[in-house]
Amino acid sequence: MASTTGPAITGIHLPADNASVRRGQASKLVALSVMLLALLGCDRQPDSLKNAVPKRDFDPAVVERGRVLFAQHCASCHGDHAQGAPNWHRPDASGKWPPPPLNGTGHAWHHPRAALVRTIRQGTAATGGNMPAWGGRLPNDDIDAILAWIQQQWPEELYAAWWRMDRQSATGGR
């Protein structure tokens, strides 16, 4: 190669070529880093493996207790299968919301765990709703058992979406 191009030409061109190759590699590296940063920044979860949704391994005895408690205290309004009132998505004549489904076909899974527990404990009378307060009537572990039964009714992918949302809200969106 050197014999056809000659040392003088090589002497002029090689350093320039090398520099532009180096520049090219450098800009590829920069582009790659920007891409990586964007990927990491997007969900703000560099440790995305930790984001893996845990298996729903509720204790079957707890779920069964939740089922019985739900039938006793909640089914009269929310339905035997937590399917909600048929007209749950419209306020009734008095402007109050009918009991919604809790089985995954309503909005319950849009709420973090803390919000669900708060609604069950405090009810919605204070905000003009018809949901009774259970805080004084059911101990926390009964409410936990009912929630376990409720969440056992949700389809897998819906539980996964809820779990991620709940985790985000529990860590303040980080």
Among 124, 152, 168, 169, the residue binding ligand HEC under the rule CB under 6 A is 124
Q: Which of 85, 83, 102, 97 is nearest to 147 (CA)?
A: 102
Count of residues touching ligand HEC (by CB under 6 A): 24
Contacts of residue 129, defined as CB under 8 A and 6 or more positions apart, other chains included, come to 96, 97, 123
The residue at minimum Cβ distance from ligand HEC is: 129
Alpha-carbon distance of 143 to 138, in angstroms, equals 7
Our measurement of the distance from residue 86's CA atom to the centroid of its chain's CA atoms, rounded to an integer in Å, reads 27
Which of the ranges 40-48, 127-135, 153-161, 163-171 carries the binding residues for ligand HEC, by CB under 6 A?
127-135
Nearest to 100 by CA among 113, 116, 86, 118: 86
CB-wise, 111 or 164, nearer to ligand HEC?
Answer: 111
Contact between 62 and ligand HEC by CB under 6 A: the answer reads no
Q: Is 100 in the site for ligand HEC (CB under 6 A)?
A: yes
Please identify which residue in 67, 83, 102, 145 interacts with ligand HEC, judged by CB under 6 A.
102
Residue 82 near ligand HEC by CB under 6 A: no
